[in-house]
Structure 1
Amino acid sequence: MLDFLDPIRELNIQSLIIRCLLTMVLSGVIGLQRGRHGRAAGLRTHVLVSLGGALTVMLGLYTTQILGFSSDPLRVGAQVISGIGFLGVGTILVKGDAKITGLTTAAGLWATAAIGMAAGAGFYEGAVIVAALMIITFTIFIKLEIKINRNVKQMYIYIELNQADKASEVVDFLKKQYNYIWVQVIPARSNTPGHIGITSCINIVNHDDAQDKINSISELDGVSFAVESI
């Protein structure tokens, strides 16, 4: 792509140093951004993941170009993309209110591993471009998300049914009409024999919208009452 980079695409000590340094810089910038926002995976985690990805690719290239093996040089590196899942899962947290956090950081770790692999393979342009786009995604797109979602709020509701066999119908209603975020069937809070409860989280626009939805749910067959739950 860029002719002046051709000399350092060869597998030698100079190019190995350049690939590792580039990997550290690109992943370090991403890691710093995540760390500043209090994420569990920060500078060191991103750098280590990216360096590991770079090394596996360089190892694959070494076995084919230097040792003369006929295996796919990227085969080992490809396992990094699959194996990085264990770190990604470690950054995903489910809070007490069922709010899930850490998905962006987990995705960033996965992409950072790919950046390291690209730098390790000598695909410098791709590594730099993707790293730059990731920084844009982390810093600018979050403002866009906030702007789009600023009018959307969440409401937790409790629904008590006097007919247990109506639970599936109520859950289907919540899914089709309100596209619930989560729903759970629990014992009835009133402890009334034959009753069961349903808790759910749905999106609302304002107080009037919340009340309208509660009223609609209360009118369903088998529902004793529905209230906002804290």
Structure 2
Amino acid sequence: MIIMIIKLTLALLFGLLIGLDRQMKQKQLGMRPSMVICIASCLLTIVSIEAFSKFGGENHPNMDPMRLAAQIVSGVGFIGAGVILRRSNEVISGLTSAALIWSASALGIAIGAGFYKEAICGIVLLIAAVNLIPGLMKLLGWERLNRYDVSLKVVVESNSRMTELIRHIQRNPAPAPASEDRKSTEKAEFKIRHFKIKDLDSNRQRMDLLLSVPNHYYLSEIYYYIKEFDHVLSVEAEQL
């Protein structure tokens, strides 16, 4: 029992390390799916190893009790793939949901094989990985973890100051109200992760941007901040 808990806990911690590395580099695979996949994989491995000693033996030397369970894992993987969406600006969503669907099959296999303690420990760690640990990491104040992505579609008049507009968006955050922590707020910046420009009719152009912004900015602040720029005709903003 203790060894099993240690294995699952180490799987959670190692998945957390991988997820932190990906999330700090603003990649799609973050903390939640990394931890969920690592825990579920560890649980399936434990069940597979223990199932042979539980159901096999000298009387059944060629028995493979996990053969059918392996097909369940593959089949549920296709269901999980169905909830992964590729949105505009190369943004992918649904990774955590897909990982949880796959992990649910691992829990079902563990329960069906009679590994109740392993299943209980697994579901506790899965819930902690999805709901508790990411919030705890953000409370530590790491700036790269306290950001979210915003998709912007900005229609502008054709002009020669496009580069200046892009630099202004990237280097200057929205104005913050005067307060004691104004200095710390002014250090934040909007980072352009993806950029696309397209010609429209009537001498107009559309910019598609993916911005990484600090959590303390509301989407409405960003919308009005971009709206106030010269030559901007319309703005469409979406929080991802």
TM-score by length of 1: 0.43
- The higher radius of gyration belongs to 1
Larger helix fraction of residues: 1
TM-score by length of 2: 0.42
